[in-house]
Amino acid sequence: MFVQRGSSRSRVALAGALSAGLVLGLSACADSKEDGGTGTVPAASVGAIDCAPYAAFGDLKGKEVSIYTGIVTPEDAPQKQSYKPFEDCTGVTIKYEGDKSFETQVLIRAEAGNPPDVAYVPQPGLLQRLVATGKAKEAPAETAALVDKNFGADWKAYGTVDGKFYAAPLGANVKSLVWYSPKEFKDNGYTVPTTLADLKALSDKIAATGKKPWCAGISSGEATGWPLTDWMEDFYLRLNGVEAYDKWVKHELPFNSAESTKALDAVGEYLKNDKYVNGGLGDVKSIASTTFQDAGLQIIEGNCSLHRQASFYAANFDKNTKVAEDGDVYAFYLPGETADKKPVLGGGEFVLAFADRPEVKAFQTYLATDTWANAKAKVSSGWVSANKGLQISNLVNPIDQLSAKILQDPNAQFRFDGSDMMPAAVGSNAFWKQSTNWITGQDTKTTLDAIEAAWPK
Amino acid sequence: MFTTATTTSQKLLQMGAAILLFAAVIGLILFIAGRFTGKADRAVAALYLAPTVLMLSVGLLYPGLRTIYQSFFDASLKNFIGFENYATILSDPEQLTVLRNTAFWVLVTPFVATGVGLLYAILVDKARMESFAKALVFLPMSISFVAAGVIWKFMYEYRPDQGTVKQIGLINQIIVWLGGEPVQLLIESPLNTFLLIAVMVWIQAGFAMTVLSAAIKAIPDDIIEAARLDGVGPWGMFRFVTLPAIRPAVIVVVTTIAIGTLKVFDIVQTMTGGRFDTSVIANEFYSQTFRSDNRGLGAALAVVLFILVIPIVVYNIRQLRRSEA
């Protein structure tokens, strides 16, 4: 800032050399993040597993596999715990690194040639970008075989890039849920709606009592707007069907087509409706400034009755809140147009490897087994997997059981979160930004046109 | 040695190696410099400067040139598109908002912060409890931009005027006490940009005050004495004595804050994430590069930022030279 003229030359040289030393020294400790906390003490044990399948990978004792993920405290504890049987069997140490800015950092690390052994990628779009760096490895044949056995073809497709299978699904979540208070429903004689028309009628009924039925919040730092994209995707699926949805995600249908207008306007009937929102939080605009975490808590406060948010929202209620069908708060499936049509919007993570050492392959294989899914189920809350071998009875939390039931319903038509599959310029930028503008007053046409314009040519 | 260290001992080893390397380089330079005898000043100077020049080229010059080069490419950095990214910055409504906001920041922050700092410095000069009063204003300087953003986000926090809901933000509570309706302060554009600027002013006023106060104290007493004898009033004292005497310091403060303001990222990122039309160039550059995966546009934004800083730096250097001449 205050450069002193005439400072001796040697001092300048020293500063230069010093900064060189500093740079070298710093780079040495740049990635010295300690291996996280040990997490909470397990309530239940995951039990031992059959070690035989991993013997095929050779002697792995003393080897190490590094994992990089956006799954941080408190959800990282059950993750680490579920690796224990594998570690015990093979002698491999799993080095876990959770980072909230995983989504931007993993790409930088991959491009800089410093990727982890394994990354848990939460978006198929990001997966494609990571594969495009040329640093990712295809999934081993053992993993691919297990994925064929345990997962639906759609889930395998999300982990496939250009016809090559890279990443097996890990966890999953169900987004098509509406949180509500079972007690309030019982006291007022409300029933869980089974069609979209029912949902509308229920909203009107609650609004007639003078209460704002819905509460919503889309604030989430620089990701502000994403909860709204989920709303729109859910309604897109319901009003236009899965085929149109697939085309929309691939941009075979333009973003500003009639289908999108229909979906967004349908969302507007709920969220831009002064009679419906925003219970306990303000007017329509307050949706933009309320965090999605805070919004649903208004159900407990008695200020609103309904909050559309994914299964992982369960983690936001405090310990004294009973999340169950007969408890303080629970969720129901956001209904389709008719009771037998069941599109399900969801998300999940995928296991992408950047190394093909035997221990990495063995670990990938372990994560694709139903053994792991069930072991993980026993120790976690707010977690579910699309693994067909997952036994619902192993899940502890009622919401997880509900999610698993929805995922395994033969009528269910599962579709992955659309914004997570679109190119980053749309899926994690324009779509979020324009949705935010939309809720603060921008009209539907301007919104959709702007998103369409952002699609990479 | 250049592979990723995983254990603590490896890291310590790496660090030790880096320090040794540093010492070796210095030793080598000193040794070679010592070989020159007589009038070899230039050679010695060049030698001393060599590591700096090398580091500057690797760490600053090369990335800088590469960024400029990349700014002529498309999102994937594969296809050359000429000045299209720059055309986008100058025509896309969203990018124009970014430029407008950056202009607000640079036009308002340095002058308001310096003005507040100067006024405060003059007011507390030779007052009782001067150092305590100064500390109060200087303290925000020690808070990181991110922390300041979080603090002020709470200041502006909004709760609806509904039933038993209580305000938790100070500003809205004051509005309610005065009988008004709570306002969603961070949503209304362009008001929100000025509310973010207030945070920067809050941080930088302390810096301005400290530097300017030191400059005021450095004015020779005999000048002030002479002015008093000539019957100069307080305003005249400020206008004809204080201000000319501290002019170089004022320029340094204004330009320093201006450069810091152009680079502002943390406050915007923490408080609004660039939403509600509050994005500025530094934030947009990050968002385009890492969020939107539009590397070309990101690079172009970085170049624009670079170009905007140049005149301020040049002015700063010229003023410093003139004042020392």
The pLDDT tens digits for A215-238 are 999 988 778 888 999 999 999 999
Identify the three-state secondary structure at position A121: strand
Within an 8 Å CB–CB cutoff, is residue A118 touching chain B? Answer: no
pLDDT band at A50 (very low <50, low <70, confident <90, very high): confident
pLDDT > 60? residue A445: yes
The fraction of chain A above a pLDDT of 90, given in percent, is: 47
Chain B residue closest to A220 (CA)? B273
Within an 8 Å CB–CB cutoff, is residue A446 touching chain B? Answer: no
Within an 8 Å CB–CB cutoff, is residue A8 touching chain B? Answer: no
Mean pLDDT of B83-102: 91
pLDDT recorded at residue A34: 36
pLDDT tens, residue by residue, A116-155: 999 999 989 889 989 998 999 999 999 999 999 998 888 9
- Single-letter amino acid, residue A120: Y
**For B160, which of A12, A13, A282 is closest by C-beta distance?**
A282
CA distances, B232 to each of B123, B237, B240 (Å): 18, 6, 9
- Could you give the CA distance from residue A93 to residue A108 in angstroms, rounded to a whole number? 25
Chain A residue closest to B27 (CA)? A17
Alpha carbon of residue A351 to chain centroid: 14
Mean pLDDT of A403-408: 88
Mean pLDDT of B122-127: 84
- Listed residue (A129, A66, A143, A103) closest to A354, CA to CA: A66
Within an 8 Å CB–CB cutoff, is residue A301 touching chain B? Answer: no
**For B75, which of A1, A283, A425 is closest by C-beta distance?**
A425
- Chain B residues near residue A289 by CB distance under 8 angstroms: 158, 184, 186-187
Mean pLDDT of B169-181: 86
Please give, one letter per residue, the 3-state secondary structure of A222-252: ECCCHHHHHHHHHHHHHHHHHHHHHHHHCCC
Find the range with the poorest average confidence among A27-41, A184-198, A290-304. A27-41
The fraction of chain A above a pLDDT of 70, given in percent, is: 90
- Chain A residues near residue B273 by CB distance under 8 angstroms: 221-224
Chain A residue closest to B256 (CA)? A1
User: Which position has the higher pLDDT, A6 or A379?
Assistant: A379
Within an 8 Å CB–CB cutoff, is residue A12 touching chain B? Answer: yes
Residue matched to tokens 């000025």: B194
Alpha carbon of residue A7 to chain centroid: 55
| CA distance to partner chain A, nearest, from residue B53 (Å) | 8
CA distances, A353 to each of A34, A54, A370, B125, B212 (Å): 22, 17, 20, 64, 57
Within an 8 Å CB–CB cutoff, is residue A9 touching chain B? Answer: yes
Q: A168 CB contacts (<8 Å, ≥6 apart)?
A: A139, A143, A144, A146, A147, A151, A159, A350, A351, A364, A367, A368
- Could you give the CA distance from residue A298 to residue A390 in angstroms, rounded to a whole number? 33
**For A12, which of B48, B290, B294 is closest by C-beta distance?**
B48
Q: Residue A144 belongs to what H/E stretch? A: helix A141-150
- Listed residue (A231, A215, A209, A204) closest to A181, CA to CA: A215
- Chain A residues near residue B17 by CB distance under 8 angstroms: 28
- Chain A residues near residue B252 by CB distance under 8 angstroms: 1-2
Does the beta-carbon distance from B160 to A423 stay under 8 Å?
A: no
- Residue A195 tokens read as 């069609």
Does the beta-carbon distance from B75 to A430 stay under 8 Å?
A: no
Within an 8 Å CB–CB cutoff, is residue A95 touching chain B? Answer: yes
Is residue B79 a contact partner of residue A457, using CB atoms and an 8 Å limit? no
pLDDT recorded at residue B38: 64
Within an 8 Å CB–CB cutoff, is residue A424 touching chain B? Answer: yes
- Could you give the CA distance from residue A216 to residue B276 in angstroms, rounded to a whole number? 18
pLDDT > 50? residue A35: no
Mutate to test the interface with A, among B6, B48, B96, B155 (most CBs of A within 10 A): B48
- In this structure, the number of other CB atoms found within 10 A of the CB of residue A274 comes to 10
pLDDT band at A10 (very low <50, low <70, confident <90, very high): very low
User: Which position has the higher pLDDT, B39 or A393?
Assistant: A393
- Residue A243 tokens read as 């085929």
- Chain B residues near residue A436 by CB distance under 8 angstroms: 275-276
Does the beta-carbon distance from B55 to A23 stay under 8 Å?
A: yes
- Chain A residues near residue B4 by CB distance under 8 angstroms: 31, 114
Chain B residue closest to A20 (CA)? B55
The mean predicted confidence, pLDDT, of chain B is: 87
Mean pLDDT of B151-176: 82
Q: Indicate yes or no: pTM above 0.90.
A: no
pLDDT recorded at residue A20: 41
pLDDT recorded at residue A227: 92
Does the beta-carbon distance from A303 to B25 stay under 8 Å?
A: no
Mean pLDDT of B18-46: 81
**For A425, which of B50, B162, B293 is closest by C-beta distance?**
B293
Q: Which of A8-22, A60-74, A259-273 has the highest mean pLDDT?
A: A259-273
Within an 8 Å CB–CB cutoff, is residue A29 touching chain B? Answer: yes
Mean pLDDT of A346-373: 93
Q: A137 CB contacts (<8 Å, ≥6 apart)?
A: A166, A353, A354, A355, A356
- Chain B residues near residue A280 by CB distance under 8 angstroms: 160, 162-163, 165
Chain B residue closest to A129 (CA)? B293
| CA distance to partner chain B, nearest, from residue A437 (Å) | 7
- Could you give the CA distance from residue B131 to residue A374 in angstroms, rounded to a whole number? 65
The mean predicted confidence, pLDDT, of chain A is: 85
Does the beta-carbon distance from A288 to B276 stay under 8 Å?
A: yes
Within an 8 Å CB–CB cutoff, is residue A303 touching chain B? Answer: yes
* A306 bridge partner residues: A214
- Chain A residues near residue B162 by CB distance under 8 angstroms: 280, 282, 303
Within an 8 Å CB–CB cutoff, is residue A81 touching chain B? Answer: no
Does the beta-carbon distance from B21 to A285 stay under 8 Å?
A: no
pLDDT > 70? residue A9: no
Mean pLDDT of B286-292: 85
A456 upstream amide cis, omega within 30 of 0: no
Residues of A numbered 225-264 whose beta carbons fall under 8 angstroms of chain B's beta carbons: which are they? Answer: 225
pLDDT recorded at residue A355: 93
Chain B residue closest to A29 (CA)? B11
pLDDT > 90? residue A101: no
pLDDT recorded at residue A43: 46
pLDDT recorded at residue B39: 65
pLDDT > 70? residue B163: no
Within an 8 Å CB–CB cutoff, is residue A129 touching chain B? Answer: yes
pLDDT > 90? residue B198: yes
Chain A residue closest to B248 (CA)? A2
Strands A118-121 and A342-353: antiparallel
**For A10, which of B6, B18, B48 is closest by C-beta distance?**
B48
Per DSSP, B292 falls in state S
- Could you give the CA distance from residue B265 to residue B274 in angstroms, rounded to a whole number? 9
Identify the three-state secondary structure at position A94: strand
- Single-letter amino acid, residue B17: A
Does the beta-carbon distance from A17 to B287 stay under 8 Å?
A: no
The fraction of chain B above a pLDDT of 70, given in percent, is: 95
Q: What is the count of residue pairs from A and B with beta carbons less than 8 Å apart? A: 141
HSE of A78, CA atoms in CB hemisphere, 13 A:
21
pLDDT recorded at residue A28: 39
pLDDT recorded at residue B316: 84
